[in-house]
């Protein structure tokens, strides 16, 4: 039995979906433990693309059971849309392959409205959220007034809760933000319908997880977002509203820390970020444009162009410390092919002072000037490589330099979006 956590080491979109789908045949359970449909995980199987926002990325593998744990915030419209699409494609023949925790909180219309109203109110300091209501939904959870998936199954109690919340939310929306109010009847009718349709999927996910572990099955925990979007460890306040680090698995899925074996940190061969906030190695000129084009760097959830820049070893070192990576996966190495020179940030200069630590405040991170190390580039199409020694020497030197800087082995290298466009140096589940 092995438990493996796969989490983003940067600002999200590192290719977690691709790797989870690739690893899924080796696991019995795939478990989402935080975040919501702010995530967009892209899977490419036999040339066909699937983008998942809530359903775990193991679902395309018929042998897997996919859990949405208590730490996730669920927009039932999006979940049902995904379930319908997967069912229509014949991928999901049996509802028992997707299980949703009754403890997961529900994203409602007022969460999306407040998310957008607050972003507008922040003006120049907008976070650039996905507008999916994630922050406001976690707020209600933490202030102990949220509605959970299990509540959708009790129509009478649900009505009372919605009425009370709508009164509060409409006060804030109309009085403070001068926004349109939301309507109790519409929300209530939709919520009852969600309960009816989701009932076959609602389950005690912690029990399922416990049983799988007792039976000695492999379990894969699928992170969303990334270390630097984590509410505690990220570039606050330009972060999401959940913990994205490996440690969040224990609370968000309901599993003890003694049961975790391995943590795979997932990074791109360069860096991207979507939304606002500081980004030390960002390239705003021609190179950034070249990376965006070569890597097709447009958001899977909002379609926004992703900001691009060089790989940042200061960030990866920080993420390795906080997450306890046992290995790294480096994705999108193919995208860097054709550049004469590739660079890695090894330290920053902040107000003239050299530091190897990631700064705390957004102002300091904004002022951080990366200290770069330059490496020879490589050319050619890497997507056909299937073994490490088939990669150009310069690409291997780059990978090995990252290993030395971060002090974590790069066990997996991805050289294309497809399942088979993956090089394994050491299997993440062991063996
Ligand atoms: P996630 O949110 O971490 O799952 O990542 P996204 O799916 O949002 O973004 C990663 C994008 O890169 C997707 O479009 C993937 O299909 C694509 N991708 C993943 N791995 C590779 C790779 O090694 N090379 C290339 N060229 N594309 C990749
Ligand atoms: P995956 O799982 C990249 C970013 C948003 C914004 C900030 C807060 O696909 O890697 P939120 O809507 O969560 O309140 O937005 O976080 N963000 C992501 N960026 N990938 C994601 O998910 C993201 N989820 C949220 O762009 O900057
Ligand atoms: Mg994504």
Atom of ligand 2 nearest to the CA of 35: 13
Distance between CA atoms of 118 and 416, rounded to whole angstroms? 38
Mutation pick for ligand 2 pocket among 129, 236, 241, 242 (CB with most ligand atoms within 8 Å): 129
Q: Which residues contact 360 (CB under 8 A, 6 or more apart)?
A: none
Kindly report, residue by residue over 84-142, the tens digit of the pLDDT. Answer: 999 999 999 999 999 999 999 999 999 999 999 999 999 989 999 999 999 999 999 99
On the question of pLDDT at 391 being above 90, the answer is yes
Mutation pick for ligand 2 pocket among 12, 242, 303 (CB with most ligand atoms within 8 Å): 12
Kindly report, residue by residue over 54-84, the tens digit of the pLDDT. Answer: 999 999 999 999 999 999 999 999 999 999 9
Q: 426 with 326: CB under 8 angstroms?
A: no
Percent of the chain at pLDDT above 70? 100
Q: 371 with 342: CB under 8 angstroms?
A: no
On the question of pLDDT at 353 being above 80, the answer is yes
CA-to-CA separations, 75 to 81, 100, 321, in angstroms, rounded: 10, 12, 33
Please give the distance, rounded to the nearest whole angstrom, from the Cα atom of residue 78 to the centre of ligand 1.
21
Kindly report, residue by residue over 361-384, the tens digit of the pLDDT. Answer: 999 999 999 999 999 999 999 999
Q: pLDDT class for 192, splitting at 50, 70, 90?
A: very high
- Confidence (pLDDT) at 309: 98
- Confidence (pLDDT) at 71: 98
Range 296-315 average pLDDT = 94
Please give the distance, rounded to the nearest whole angstrom, from the Cα atom of residue 17 to the centre of ligand 1.
7
- DSSP state, residue 281: T
- Confidence (pLDDT) at 431: 77
Q: Which residues contact 6 (CB under 8 A, 6 or more apart)?
A: 16, 19, 20, 23, 220, 221, 222, 223, 264, 266, 329, 428
Which residues are identified as catalytic? 13, 41
Kindly report, residue by residue over 236-264, the tens digit of the pLDDT. Answer: 999 999 999 999 999 999 999 999 999 99
Kindly report, residue by residue over 142-153, the tens digit of the pLDDT. Answer: 999 999 999 999
Residue with CA closest to ligand 2 atom 20 = 12
Q: pLDDT class for 301, splitting at 50, 70, 90?
A: confident
On the question of pLDDT at 387 being above 80, the answer is yes
Q: Which residues contact 196 (CB under 8 A, 6 or more apart)?
A: none
Rounded to two decimals, the pTM is 0.98
Please name which of 240, 261, 258, 263 lies closest in space to residue 71, comparing C-alpha atoms.
240
Q: How many CB atoms lie within 10 A of CB 416?
A: 20
User: Is residue 8 in contact with ligand 2, taking CB distance under 6 Å?
Assistant: yes
- Confidence (pLDDT) at 302: 86
Atom of ligand 2 nearest to the CA of 300: 9
- Confidence (pLDDT) at 137: 98
Please name which of 389, 388, 392 lies closest in space to residue 380, comparing C-alpha atoms.
392
């Amino acid at each position: 039995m092995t438990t493996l956590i796969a989490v983003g080491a940067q600002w999200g979109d590192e290719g977690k979906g691709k790797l989870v789908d690739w690893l899924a045949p080796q696991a019995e359970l795939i478990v989402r433990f935080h975040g919501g449909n702010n995530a967009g995980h892209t899977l490419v199987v036999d040339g066909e693309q699937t983008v998942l926002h809530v359903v775990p990325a193991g679902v395309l593998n018929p042998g897997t059971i996919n859990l949405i744990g208590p730490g996730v915030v669920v927009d039932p419209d999006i979940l049902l849309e995904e379930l319908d699409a997967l069912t229509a494609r014949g991928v999901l023949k049996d509802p028992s392959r997707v299980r949703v925790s009754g403890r997961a909180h529900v994203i409602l219309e007022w969460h999306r409205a407040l998310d957008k109203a607050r972003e507008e109110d922040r003006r120049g300091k907008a976070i650039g959220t996905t507008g999916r209501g994630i922050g406001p939904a976690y707020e209600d959870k933490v202030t102990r007034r949220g509605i959970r998936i299990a509540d959708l199954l009790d129509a009478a109690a649900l009505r009372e809760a919605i009425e009370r919340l709508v009164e509060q939310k409409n006060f804030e929306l109309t009085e403070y933000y001068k926004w349109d109010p939301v309507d109790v009847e519409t929300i209530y009718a939709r919520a009852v319908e969600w309960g009816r349709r989701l009932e076959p999927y609602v389950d005690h996910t912690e029990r399922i997880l416990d049983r799988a572990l007792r039976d000695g099955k492999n379990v894969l925990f699928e992170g969303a977002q990334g270390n630097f979007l984590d509410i505690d460890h990220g570039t606050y306040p330009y972060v999401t509203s959940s913990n994205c680090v490996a440690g969040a698995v224990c609370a968000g899925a309901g599993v003890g820390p003694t049961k975790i074996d391995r943590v795979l940190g997932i990074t791109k061969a360069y860096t991207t970020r979507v939304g606002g906030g500081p980004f030390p190695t960002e390239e705003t000129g021609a190179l950034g444009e070249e990376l965006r084009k070569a890597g097709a760097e447009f958001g899977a959830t909002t379609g926004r162009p992703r900001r691009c820049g060089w790989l940042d070893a200061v960030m990866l070192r920080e993420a390795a410390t906080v997450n306890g990576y046992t290995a790294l996966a480096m994705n999108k190495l193919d995208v860097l092919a054709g550049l004469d020179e590739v660079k890695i940030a090894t330290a920053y200069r902040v107000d003239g002072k050299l530091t190897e630590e990631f700064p705390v405040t957004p102002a300091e991170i904004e002022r951080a000037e990366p200290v770069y190390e330059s490496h020879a580039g490589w050319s050619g199409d890497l997507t056909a490589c299937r073994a490490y020694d088939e990669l150009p020497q310069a690409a291997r030197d780059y990978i090995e330099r990252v290993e030395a800087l971060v002090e974590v082995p790069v066990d997996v290298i991805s050289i294309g979006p497809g399942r088979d466009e993956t090089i394994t140096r050491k299997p993440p589940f062991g063996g």
